[in-house]
Amino acid sequence: MDLILINGNIITMNPSYPKAEALAIKDGLFTTVGSKEDVLSFKKNSTEIIDLKGRTLLPGFIDSHIHLVNYGYSLQHVDLNGLTSIDDVIEKMISFIKDQYIQKDKWIIGRGWNQDDFTTKKFPTRYDLDKISKNHPICIVRACGHIMVGNSKALKLAGISKSTLQVEGGFFDLDEEGNPLGIFRETAMNLLYNQLTEPSLDEIKKMILSASNRIVKQGITSVQSDDFDALPGHNFQKVISAYTDLKDSKKLPLRVYQQCLLPTLKKLKHFLQLGYSTGYGDSMYKIGPLKLRADGSLGARTAYLREPYADAPWTSGLPVFMQEELDALIIAAHNGDMQTAVHCIGDKTMYMALQSIEKAQKQNPRNHPRHGIVHCQVTDEGLLHKCKDLDIIAYIQPIFIDSDLHMVEQRLGNTREKSSYNWKNIYNKGISVACGSDCPFATGSPVDQFNVLLGIYTAVTRKDLSGYPDSGWLPDQKLSLMEAIHGFTLGAAYASFDEKMKGSIEVGKLADLVVLSDDIFKVPPDEIKNISVLATFVGGELKYLQNGTCSIL
């Protein structure tokens, strides 16, 4: 045996054997799970033994939707989360330029602002950003990742003027005289983004390591990550190479299932022609679904709705694809043995995606292709019934409650609010649920976003991180604790076709583990957010130990 852990409160997530007090690991797999006496009977002279001293141990957490490379990229930028005014944004950006001695003409990027946190509730414009600097091209990305604002220098470099044509799947805002305001939505963001320098292979590797070494500290042992469109240049082969090099050199600290954002039929067909499809790879890095971003976000009012926004009745949001385009992409992926995961926040977009999936399955029936809808925020009974009929996976992000409960009624009105973020209804209908964070595309600190224990807390209490409201938002939609944990373990493993290899502590499965400071089943729900991760193991190897040491080791 390589390793034995004893005297633990081991929650296996295996309904046939839900709790154990000891386990053994060899060659990265669980070999024995049971009583201390039974497990120690396999001890050899070379076996390392860890006394858990009653600590709670769970299967390693799985984040079913994250942007790992983008998070690593964002760590190089100015963090604008939590600022409460445009003036605060300006001040922080100016300080960054001075503190970092940024040379003239070098791009400055900020991310994380949210106009709903501002007292004015207004978007910044190019003219606000011109106050930061006229000598540096500047762009700042909203917390959701669906809106970018550039200053006049950035617009000039991109060749954007009054005569610039709008783009499909997005748009940029104009003033009354038709001049660009510097606000770019959805695909229009690429007009600025494409001016940035494409990172090198080594730079991408550093981003991956910087992000993953932070993520593993939260007990996350696997991620399903949307990375292909994260960087200037949109070079998916370079992203695959970066992950593969790290994996081959055994430097990748967690497992990655790639959600492959390929937004055109040309790119998708090229990808398939190279021999890639869902399942290509190994347990450390594997190709997953075709990822499509079919609409925007509620916060940006670009999520595509059947009816207009309650607080902006002149718009129903923005579809990134027409129905025929979405059909073609999903059918091509389906026929190419790829799973699909479609970003749908608005109910209209969700309807369109389900239509496309249904067409693909009718044309070419496949057994459990495990197509999915990412976010599933604005729903109704008809949409959820269709999800069940099509065996759809619902990728949900419980941490969104922290920010979104404060604006959903404004955006949607009371009636639609009641049928939104209806995760208990999703579970009750027997729809497969996989939980994740969407980090860094949410409000608040990215560390809070991918903290699974905060995600579990918001799922079971329906409260924000300050504890509001007392009884929870839409309290009938609270998940049970076991449902929430299942979403971050077995449910997420199912989304990557890995339920037979991870997501629970069973003999023969990958030895991915998290050790917690407290018994999550004994603390009051409001205190789950205070639980910390003491240690993280991936394949039986220690990847994180709190403060470099803790009482269990």
Return d(Cα 511, Cα 221) in angstroms, integer: 10
Burial annotation 456-470 (CB, 10 A radius, 16+ → b, else e):
bbbbbbbbbbeeeee
Residue found by looking up tokens 């040379």 in the block: 103
Residue with tokens 């797999």: 29
- pLDDT tens digits for 5-23? 999 999 999 999 999 999 9
Give helix 381-389 / helix 347-363 axis angle, nearest 10°.
20
Task: Answer yes or no: are the C-beta atoms of 335 and 371 closer than 8 Å.
Answer: no
Higher pLDDT, 418 or 1: 418
Give kind and range of the element (H or E) at residue 396. strand 393-396
Q: How many CB atoms lie within 10 A of CB 152?
A: 18
How far apart are the C-alpha atoms of 111 and 504, rounded to whole Å? 36
CB atoms within 10 A of CB 534: 23
Q: What pLDDT is recorded for position 146?
A: 87
Residue 378 DSSP class: B
List 171's β-bridge partners, or say none.
185
- Cβ–Cβ under 8 Å, residues 483 and 477: no
Residues 6+ apart with CB under 8 A from 8: 20, 21, 22, 23, 52, 54, 55, 56, 57, 515
**pTM of the full structure:** 0.94
Let me know: does 216 contact 62? Beta carbons within 8 Å. Answer: no
Spatial contact of 126 and 140, defined as CB atoms under 8 Å apart: no
The whole-angstrom separation of Cα 513 and Cα 540 is 8
Q: Residue 521 — very low, low, confident or very high, per pLDDT cuts 50/70/90?
A: very high
Residue 251 CA to residue 498 CA, distance in Å, equals 22
What pLDDT is recorded for position 168?
Answer: 87
Q: What is the mean pLDDT of the chain?
A: 95
Token representation of residue 441: 């595309």
CATH fold of 79-193 reads: Diaminopimelate Epimerase; Chain A, domain 1 (3.10.310)
Spatial separation of the C-alpha atoms in residues 460 and 424, rounded to whole Å: 10
- Give the per-residue pLDDT at 159: 95
Out of 2.30.40.10, 3.50.50.60, 3.40.190.10, 2.40.50.140, which CATH number does the structure's domain 3-60+507-548 have? Answer: 2.30.40.10
| Helices 323-335 + 265-273 axis angle, to 10 | 10
Per-residue model confidence (pLDDT) at position 144? 86
**Which tens digits make up the pLDDT trace of 417-456?**
999 999 999 999 999 999 999 999 876 676 678 999 999 9
| CATH 3.10.310.70 location in the chain | 79-193
Q: Which among 529, 171, 147 has a CA at the least distance from the CA of 320?
A: 171
Least confident of 33-37, 165-169, 355-359: 165-169
Q: How confident is the model over 50-98, as pLDDT tens digits? A: 999 999 999 999 999 999 999 999 999 999 988 999 999 999 999 999 9
Please report, rounded to a whole number, the percentage of residues in the chain having pLDDT higher than 90: 90
Q: Token pair for residue 151?
A: 């200053």
Provide the pLDDT for residue 553: 59
Q: Is residue 101 scored above 90 in pLDDT?
A: no
| CA distances from residue 238 to 26, 242, 273 in whole angstroms, order as listed | 34, 6, 17
> For 223-248, what is each residue's pLDDT tens digit?
999 999 999 999 999 999 999 999 99
Question: What is the pLDDT confidence band of residue 1, given thresholds at 50, 70 and 90?
Answer: low
Task: Please state the φ and ψ torsions of residue 274, each to the nearest 5 degrees.
Answer: -75, -5
Quote the pLDDT of residue 442.
74
Cα–chain center distance at 389 = 25
Band of residue 549 on the pLDDT scale cut at 50, 70, 90 = low
**Terminal C-alpha separation, the chain:** 18
- In angstroms, what CA-CA distances link 32 with 22, 40, 59, 219, 296? 8, 10, 15, 22, 47
| Portions of the chain given CATH number 2.30.40.10 | 3-60+507-548
Distance CA(52)–CA(42), nearest Å, equals 18
Mean pLDDT of 472-479: 98
Q: Above 90 in pLDDT, residue 339?
A: yes
Question: Coil, helix or strand for 483?
Answer: helix
> Closest Cα to residue 36, out of 1, 15, 2, 10?
10
Is the Cβ–Cβ distance between 394 and 351 less than 8 Å? no
Alpha helices in 158-200 (DSSP H): 190-193
Instruction: Judge residue 390's burial from the number of C-beta atoms within 10 Å of its C-beta, 0-12 exposed, 13-18 middle, 19 or more buried.
Output: middle
Q: What is the mean pLDDT of residues 128-132?
A: 96
